[in-house]
Amino acid sequence: MTRRTLLQLPLAAAGRAPWMLGANTAIDGYGLLQAVNKIRELGFPAIEIHTMGEPEPRAGRFPGFQFDRLTTRQRDEIKSALAGFERVTAHLPYTGLNYMADAEAVKTVEIAMEGAAFFGGTLAVLHPQPLPGAELEARWAEYLKRFRGWGDRARNLGLRLALETGYPRSVRGFVRLIREIAHESVGATIDVGHQSRYEELITRVKPEDRATPAGIGAYNDTTMAIVERLGSKVFHFHVHDIDPQTWQEHKPLVHGFVDYPGLAAALRKSGYAGLWMLELGGAAEDLPRYLREAKARLSAI
């Protein structure tokens, strides 16, 4: 699928998808309420909030919150701001947390889950924690137990827990993780830009071939393999574009790298009814335009 085909795909051709398009509040320098209001102004029916960081604007950082540090007034203001969205999801903390070894890190994640539920969230995204070397296999049973326990907690809070692609670093390993957790409230978030270091892709594409049709096709095949193998365990998507030369992610939709029409066709077959949540990077002054353009293009698909 070329960039021109993507941009010219007519709105009426594909019909209405059973999933919904949203955007997250990761706008550098914005306060949380400002980011929420901007996403509402842009007409998104769904939103993803970040259960980390601070609600006040900070240069070079996107806003969020730490639930146990919010005042009652702040909780009320955030809840009121989110009330108009049809769906709310949350990204759980992922920076500097060793939740396989540190009880305080476990507590941080669990407090974040409580915050996600309090603000009306129905799904929480969590990065599987990387472990060094052969430690993953040695601690596999413990690893599964951690996610099953959080699956129970999520279910009790009215959430689903969606582990994000990126680790384990292969289609085979990630699919195995989701399947062997075997919990009705635990599934996958597929980030379209997190497969660049997957074993299956590295063996197929040399760095100098990344921007070739074969390289781009191999990348999309890798993402599609996860979709096909996990089926109904795919709960959520993070969507954006990818720079063909570097495979850097979270780009505005200007490259046509990701085969969104092909992905949409596969999801219609699988009965997917979750969200496509935009995760775009860029300067704060550019992001509203990037989001508006991405909304128009993905709505056409």
Give the span between the Cα atoms of 158 and 181, in whole angstroms: 19
Name 95's Cβ contacts closer than 8 Å, sequence gap at least 6.
52
Q: Which of 75, 50, 74 is nearest to 64 (CA)?
A: 50
| Exposure letters 57-66 (e unless 16+ CB within 10 A, then b) | beeeebbbbb
**Mean pLDDT of all residues in the chain?**
93
Give the domains, in start order, of the chain with CATH numbers.
3-299 (3.20.20.150)
In Å, how far from its chain's centre is CA 67? 20
Return the sign of the alpha-carbon dihedral for residues 178, 181, 187, 191: negative
Give the span between the Cα atoms of 138 and 100, in whole angstroms: 13
**Rounded mean pLDDT, 243-251:** 96
Q: Which of 246, 248, 194, 264 is nearest to 222 (CA)?
A: 194
Classify strands 234-239 and 275-278 as parallel, antiparallel or unpaired: parallel
Give the span between the Cα atoms of 166 and 186, in whole angstroms: 16
Q: What is the pLDDT of residues 129-170, one digit of tens each?
A: 999 988 999 999 999 999 999 999 999 999 999 999 999 999
Contact between 295 and 42 (Cβ < 8 Å): yes
Compute φ and ψ for 90, nearest 5 degrees.
Answer: -140, 145
Q: What is the pLDDT of residues 164-191, one digit of tens each?
A: 999 999 999 999 999 999 999 999 999 9
